[in-house]
Amino acid sequence: MKVLITGGTGYIGSHTSVELINKGIDVVIVDNLSNSDFEVVNRIERITGVRPAFYKTDICSRSELFRVFENEKIDSVIHFAALKSISESVEKPLLYYENNVTGTMNVCEAMKRFNVKKIVLSSSAAVYGLTGNNPLKEEAPLFPYNPYGRTKMIQEHIVSDFAESESFGAVILRYFNPIGAHESGLIGENPKGKPSNLMPYISQVAAGRLEKLFVFGSDYKTPDGTGVRDYIHVSDLARGHLQALIKLENNTGVFTYNIGSGRGHSVLDMIKSFEKASGRKIAFELAERRPGDVDMCYADSSLAEKELDWKAECSIDKMCADEWRWQKLNPNGYE
């Protein structure tokens, strides 16, 4: 089986590539490297002993993407490539619609043209927004609270409508908050510039690269007033994609699953766990809420357990330990 992974050198894409290659699947990576590094391809090879095919290609260019499909006989697509910063999406909504929506349209066009009938779409808990009923089930109404979440919801609609019209199989995975790193310490999250997500920020404070963490909001309706999220180890998440491909072996139609641990942790909980894992003090300051953030968000992932035979396994302590190993071994990211 040959799987095209858009955004395959990114954080989740690289861990998923490793997972697939370790199961003997041929991986073709397409990435424009706008938020990732070519070195990831070398690291994937170091971990797995196999070098994936790599195309530096922007999926927003339909002709470039078609060329990849012409060169490779693709069986399935896992579509990650997208912009993902909530705060940036509030500032630059058109950039997010352009990248995330156009990219998805082009992936679907290429699949139609080259007769590829299976897709796994990377979606997000951000599609639920302010529904408020935690733990969130897949059938909860979608009220995305920021442009990023809206682009994810639109991607879901495009893929679902397209899959139904072409009678092919689509699995939509709604990730909660992926953190941690591969346990080798060779791949991990490597944001360009100042991190916008919590864990890379905390780990750079622990490493002394950043002075202190700003805790966005301490007056939320949560036990300690700080935001509560469902953190999940990126390797658990990567395994979810493999299970999704297995599901598509014998099924057509559209299947949507929450991919989370089912447990909520606050920002202060995460600081404590990271201090334990790293043995370092994390300096922080309570600050204003961040625009676009919700108070609480955690998953009911029982449908994925039932239908994909998938369940999150790693503890918060392991997530923090792996994140810290990655940070220590790669103080300047992939440089």
Catalytic residue check, 148:
yes
What does the DSSP 8-state code read for residue 97?
I
291 φ, ψ (degrees, to nearest 5): -55, 140
- Min dist CB 112 to ligand UD1, Å, is 28
Question: Which residues, including other chains, have CB under 8 Å from residue 303's CB and lie 6 or more apart?
Answer: 137, 138, 257, 258
Q: Does 153 bind ligand UD1 (CB under 6 A)?
A: no
User: Token pair of 291, please?
Assistant: 């625009």
Stretch that binds ligand UD1, among 25-33, 50-58, 215-223, 271-279 (CB under 6 A): 215-223
x-or-dash pattern for ligand UD1, window 27-66, by CB under 6 A? ----------------------------------------
Instruction: Please tell me whether residue 144 adopts helix, strand or coil conformation.
Output: coil
CA 54/CA 9 separation, integer angstroms: 9
Please spell the DSSP secondary structure of 175-222, one letter per residue: E-EEE---TTSSS----SSS--SHHHHHHHHHTTSSS-EEEE-S-SSS
Q: Which of 24-32, 211-219, 239-247, 300-308 is the region at the interface with ligand UD1 (rule: CB under 6 A)?
A: 211-219
Site for ligand UD1, residues 254 to 273, rule: CB under 6 A: 267
Give the residue, chosen from 103, 135, 227, 264, that forms a contact with ligand UD1 under the rule CB under 6 A: 227
Residues 6+ apart with CB under 8 A from 129: 142, 143, 144, 145, 146, 149, 294
CB atoms within 10 A of CB 38: 12
Indicate whether 84 belongs to the interface with ligand UD1 (CB under 6 A).
yes
The span from the CA of 271 to the CA of 292, in Å, is 22
Which amino acid makes up residue 95? L
Identify the three-state secondary structure at position 113.
Answer: helix
Query: Which stretch of DSSP H or E encloses residue 5?
Result: strand 2-6
User: By 3-state DSSP, what share of the chain in percent is helix, strand and coil, each rounded to 5?
Assistant: 40, 20, 40
Smallest separation (angstroms) from ligand UD1 to the CB of 140? 13
Least Cβ distance, residue 320 to ligand UD1 (angstroms): 14
Q: Which of 22-30, 113-121, 156-164, 209-217 is the region at the interface with ligand UD1 (rule: CB under 6 A)?
A: 209-217
By the rule CB under 6 A, 293 interacts with ligand UD1: yes
Based on the shown chain and the rule CB under 6 A, indicate whether residue 298 belongs to the binding site for ligand UD1: no
Report if residue 198 touches ligand UD1, rule: CB under 6 A: yes
Q: Considering only CA atoms, which of 12, 4, 176 is closest in space to residue 82? A: 12
* Whole-number Å distance between alpha carbons of 305 and 302: 5
Closest contact distance (angstroms) between CB of 153 and ligand UD1 is: 12
One of 57, 106, 177, 204 touching ligand UD1 (CB under 6 A): 177
Minimum separation from the CB atom of position 187 to ligand UD1 (A): 17
Q: Which amino acid does the sequence have at 146?
A: N
Spot the catalytic one: 11, 128, 148, 201.
148
State yes or no: residue 155 binds ligand UD1 (CB under 6 A).
no
Residue in 126, 244, 268, 271 binding ligand UD1, rule: CB under 6 A: 126
Q: Please confirm whether the linkage preceding 178 is cis (ω < 30° from 0).
A: no
Q: Least separation, in Å, of the C-beta of 100 and ligand UD1?
A: 12
Binding of residue 233 to ligand UD1 (CB under 6 A): no
> How many residues of this chain bind ligand UD1 (CB under 6 A)?
25
Binding site for ligand UD1 (CB under 6 A): 84-86, 124-126, 175-177, 196-198, 201, 213-217, 227, 229, 267, 290, 293-294, 297
The catalytic site residues sit at 148
